[in-house]
Amino acid sequence: MRALLQRVTQAKVEVEGRITGEIGAGLLVLVCAMEGDREIQAEKLAARVAKLRIFKDEAGKMNRSVSDIGGACLVVSQFTLAADTRTGNRPGFSTAAAPDTGKHLYEHFSKALRALGLPVENGIFAADMAVSLTNDGPVTIWLDTADRG
């Protein structure tokens, strides 16, 4: 699975003018299930997200996790993280998981974050969403379970 994390002071997602998820300080997590991913990848990714130390401590160093600061996660499905841009001018998305699998793993990822004690808000899988955020730093981090096995 792939995720793009943005450390935020606030973030929200709207679908057809209705807010489906909103958080204060924490992480906006754009997430994509890749072909071949299983629940174990969703669980490993959730553990990495929960423990990643990208929030400032008292000395101003990135030594605290979203869990440490009592932050929340806004999880938004983002199949375009599977974009293959190696050839041509139009990205391909054939390496993304099939929609049914993608939805299941997106929901499992959110469930795994909740099981780790994090408050989680969500977008709506495969919906046309409007995401707004205030990136803190800015800090944006890319994670891919394929990089760690």
Residues with a catalytic annotation lie at: 78-80
The three-point CA angle 82-85-88 to 5° equals 140
How far, in Å, CA of 136 to CA of 27, rounded?
10
Tokens representing residue 40 in the block: 């174990």
